[in-house]
């Protein structure tokens, strides 16, 4: 199957995402020649995104707002594919991210509910700006998810990736940047995220008993710590404590220079003991550009099953590039993540709000 910048694109989000997923799955391990081909594909997918933007503008002129929204969502997916096809240090990556942010600003012209700016006040830690996407159910309380971007991206970039996924699921999103939570003293990230949760809990369109958290990249570790710290969290997409445990093991390796029985017992204890895990269902994303390897995730799930802890795994399909970078199929993994969140945050008799 051929993929490229169509001269006459159609407003069909499902087909656009299926094409993006099939394209990512079809990438082959790279050599020097295919490295150039992959970058050319990046330009092709960026051109496809531009074509969708032109279609959205045309639909707005014709006052066909549903079609315009669909075209914008297709454009966001195409730009995200383009971003992932160029190396992290390529200037075009920032250019494609800027296209995503511009799309988010313009989608309000057609979208039923605009992406809102939300100031989160955190007391002595100051305040910061987050993005809030309402679920579109003003007459009922919907579940919500706090989404924290990875360490290399802004919150707006993550929102651009997730917007096409969350549409129609009845879930609100509060999206924040990794830098707003990570650059604090020990315990500061939990305080910041608690203020985010407070902000959502006070909103009349949010069901405070159905709020989850999703940490992308290194933010998966922050999500684990926060869900264990604040028991109001109903579901967490996180690293299951693996990042912190790995750091602890490395510290032990560095501090211990002898191979005595006490050292072996210490390491064995760290490997077998579940981390301080949340008291809620958790989903661990293993492999890809995240912080958790597939092997570590499977070991964690085995330990948690024995301890009757609700842990699920999702393993994105990925391709390793010729320069060592990895591209994961974000389309399929994001769909899996939000299907899981939709299921775990569904209303239950215990969560009915009177």
For 237-290, write each residue's pLDDT tens digit.
Answer: 998 888 777 655 544 444 455 455 444 443 344 344 455 678 899 999 887 666
Find the distance separating the first CA and the last CA of the chain, reported in whole Å: 52
Question: What domains can be seen in the chain, in order of their start residue?
Answer: 13-109 (1.20.58), 116-347 (3.40.50.1820)
pTM: 0.85
pLDDT-derived band of residue 18, with 50, 70 and 90 as boundaries?
very high
Report CA-CA distances (Å) from 14 to 22, 81, 176. 12, 15, 27
Q: What's the pLDDT band for 40 if we cut at 50, 70, 90?
A: confident
Spatial distance between the Cα atoms of 215 and 224, rounded to a whole number of angstroms: 8
CA dist 140 and 248 (Å) reads 45
For β-strands 311-314 and 282-285, DSSP reports them as parallel
Percent of residues, the chain, with pLDDT higher than 90: 43
Average pLDDT over residues 149-158: 91
Q: Is the pLDDT of residue 151 over 50?
A: yes
Q: Write the pLDDT tens digit of every residue in 108-133.
A: 766 666 788 899 998 888 889 999 99
pLDDT band at 306 (very low <50, low <70, confident <90, very high): confident
pLDDT at site 41: 87
């Amino acid at each position: 199957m051929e993929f490229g910048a169509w001269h006459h694109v159609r407003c069909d989000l499902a087909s656009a995402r299926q094409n993006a997923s099939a394209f990512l799955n079809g990438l082959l391990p790279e050599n020097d020649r295919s490295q150039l081909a992959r970058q050319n594909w990046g330009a092709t997918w960026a051109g496809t995104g531009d074509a969708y933007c032109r279609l959205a503008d045309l639909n707005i002129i014709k006052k066909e707002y549903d079609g315009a929204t669909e075209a914008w969502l297709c454009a966001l997916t195409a730009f995200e594919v383009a971003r992932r096809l160029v190396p992290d240090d390529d200037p075009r990556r920032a250019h494609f991210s800027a296209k995503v942010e511009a799309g988010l600003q313009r989608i309000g012209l057609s979208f039923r509910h605009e992406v809102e700016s939300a100031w989160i006040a955190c007391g002595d830690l100051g305040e910061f700006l987050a993005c809030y996407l309402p679920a579109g159910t003003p007459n009922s309380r919907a579940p919500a998810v706090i989404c924290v971007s990875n360490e290399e991206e802004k919150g707006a970039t993550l929102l651009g990736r997730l917007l096409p996924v969350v549409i129609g699921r009845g879930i609100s999103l509060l999206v924040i940047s990794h830098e707003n939570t990570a650059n604090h003293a020990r315990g500061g990230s939990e305080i910041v995220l608690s203020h985010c949760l407070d902000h959502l809990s006070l909103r009349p369109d949010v069901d405070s008993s159905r709020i989850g958290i999703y940490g992308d990249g290194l933010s998966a570790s922050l999500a684990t710590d926060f869900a264990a710290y604040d028991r109001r969290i109903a579901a967490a997409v996180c690293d299951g404590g693996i990042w912190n445990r790995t750091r602890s093991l490395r510290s032990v390796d560095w501090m211990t220079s002898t191979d005595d029985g006490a050292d072996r017992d210490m390491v064995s204890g760290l490997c077998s003991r579940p981390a301080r895990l949340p008291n809620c269902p958790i989903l661990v994303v293993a492999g890809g550009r995240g912080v958790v390897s597939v092997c570590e995730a499977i070991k964690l799930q085995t330990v948690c099953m024995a301890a009757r802890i609700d842990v699920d795994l999702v393993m994105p399909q990925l391709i390793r590039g010729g320069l060592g970078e990895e591209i994961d199929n974000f389309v399929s993994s994001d769909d899996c993540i939000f299907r899981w969140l939709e299921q775990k945050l569904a209303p239950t008799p215990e969560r009915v709000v009177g």
